[in-house]
A = this chain, B = another copy of it.
Amino acid sequence: MQTIIGVMGPGEQATARDMQVAYELGQAIATAGWVLLTGGRPVGVMAAASRGAKGAGGLTIGILPSKHREDAADAIDIAIVTGMGNGRNIINVLSSSVIISCGLGAGTAAEVALAIKTGKPIVLLNLSEMDCRFFQNLASYPLGIAGHVEDAIALVHQFLSLTSG
């Protein structure tokens, strides 16, 4: 079975920086041999991370809120079509071995909180100190905190070795 890494982040509200980081993160995930999972919409962090991963020869999965596969971002290889709106967020979380938050919107926050609720390993990338503290307070286990893509990838390696070890 393939190792799936979920990247969560803002859609329409993503900043240029969020998207640049997401693109590099997607590249790095593909280069590490992992499958990338996102929320699949053709905007923001979802689209940018998928482009990065696909450009680096990786496989990209999108878990779509809508009921039409045509709504997926261009760089999605495998569109999982749920028709469940934000009800699909839990699927993003449960299907990923590690969740990386890249930027923060309301949907992202819901996914990170669900990931904490279900005990998933989480990497918070480029979040403010206050946002990191908020999430860490919700969790009874240490969350990974990263300032750069390489740190995030190193944390994913570490979490994966703990889970399978």
Q: Does A17 contact B (CB under 8 A)?
A: no
- Minimal Cβ-Cβ distance residue in B for A76: B1
Does the CB pair A134–B130 fall under 8 Å?
Answer: yes
User: Which among B63, B86, B107 is the interface contact of A83 at CB below 8 angstroms?
Assistant: B86
- Minimal Cβ-Cβ distance residue in B for A73: B1
Task: Indicate the member of A80, A89, A94 with the most B CB atoms within 10 Å.
Answer: A94
User: Which among B72, B79, B94, B117 is the interface contact of A107 at CB below 8 angstroms?
Assistant: B117
Does the CB pair B87–A63 fall under 8 Å?
Answer: no
Does the CB pair B106–A85 fall under 8 Å?
Answer: no
A109 contacts which chain B residues (CB < 8 A)?
109-110, 113, 116, 138
Q: Does A154 contact B (CB under 8 A)?
A: no
Q: Does A56 contact B (CB under 8 A)?
A: no
Q: Does A95 contact B (CB under 8 A)?
A: yes
What is the 8 Å Cβ interface bit string for chain A, positions 103-129, against chain B (1 contact, 0 not)? 011110111011011100000000000
Q: How far is the CB of A154 from chain B (nearest CB, A)?
A: 23
Does the CB pair B1–A77 fall under 8 Å?
Answer: yes
Does the CB pair A69–B83 fall under 8 Å?
Answer: no
Q: Does A90 contact B (CB under 8 A)?
A: yes
Q: How far is the CB of A6 from chain B (nearest CB, A)?
A: 11
Does the CB pair A78–B116 fall under 8 Å?
Answer: no
> What is the CA–CA distance of A82 and B69 in the complex, to the nearest angstrom?
18
